[in-house]
Amino acid sequence: MTVIITAAVFIIALVLFNLIIRRMKAPKVSSSFYKEQSSPPPEKKDPGADFKEILDTLIKLNLLIRTDRDFSMDLILKIESIIDDLKALIPDMITRYPGETLTYELKKIGATHLFKTVKEYLDLSSNSRQTQRPAFEKTIESLHDVCKRSRQIVDNNEIAEFKTMAHFLEGKFS
């Protein structure tokens, strides 16, 4: 059953990745207001390659949590919700706001922070997991809230909120 679920998630991820790449190839119009206000971190990679790396990391994370027999289903569902949010949010951010600091911070969460946090928890012994579970749940809930708020910011095009949210993320997760 786990193999079927894993295969289904992988296939869905590949289809979504294909759709996102096609969407990113379409010409986009950016506003001059945005370009004047942003102070982008240096981007050296192709945005599609960045997202592919993030997607690979998220798929590895999903497989990791699904194959750990001692990992609780409620945590799996919460982490998968974060993965789904990041898979939907990051390509939109890369496309619409490529140089924005909020985009950079969300990419960092998707590429390293979420995986590292979950991996560190999974590497603990059963007794240590019991002890650390409340702190881990708090971190996961915080990441879930960050994804939801970031989606609201992007959907409502709240450019003024970008820097505030980026500074919050930088202080909290860096």
Alpha-carbon gap, residue 152 to 155, rounded angstroms: 5
Note the pLDDT tens digit of each residue in 78-130.
Answer: 999 999 999 988 888 888 888 888 888 888 989 999 999 999 999 999 899 99
> pTM score, two decimals?
0.67
pLDDT digits (tens, 9 = 90+) for 9-63: 777 776 666 667 766 665 554 444 444 444 555 555 566 788 889 999 999 999 9
Return the CA Rg of the chain.
17
Average the pLDDT over 66-73 and give the result.
90
Domain presence at residue 41: no
Asked if residue 88 is part of any domain, the answer here is yes
| Domain housing 121 | 2-23+47-173
Q: Copy the structure tokens of residue 119.
A: 């991996």
Residue 107 lies in a domain: yes
Count of the separate structural domains present in the chain: 1
Instruction: Please state the rounded mean pLDDT for residues 145-165.
Output: 79
The 8 Å CB, 24+ separation contacts for 7-13 are 9/59, 9/62, 9/66, 10/59, 13/55, 13/58, 13/59, 13/87
Q: Is 109 part of a structural domain of the chain?
A: yes
Residue 68 forms part of a structural domain:
yes
105 falls within a domain: yes
Determine the pLDDT at residue 76.
93
Contact between 105 and 143 (Cβ < 8 Å): no
3-class secondary-structure state, position 137: helix
Per the domain annotation, does 130 fall within a domain? yes
Other CB atoms closer than 10 Å to residue 63's CB: what's the count? 14
The widest CA-to-CA distance across the chain, in whole angstroms, is 55
Query: Do the domain assignments include residue 133?
Result: yes
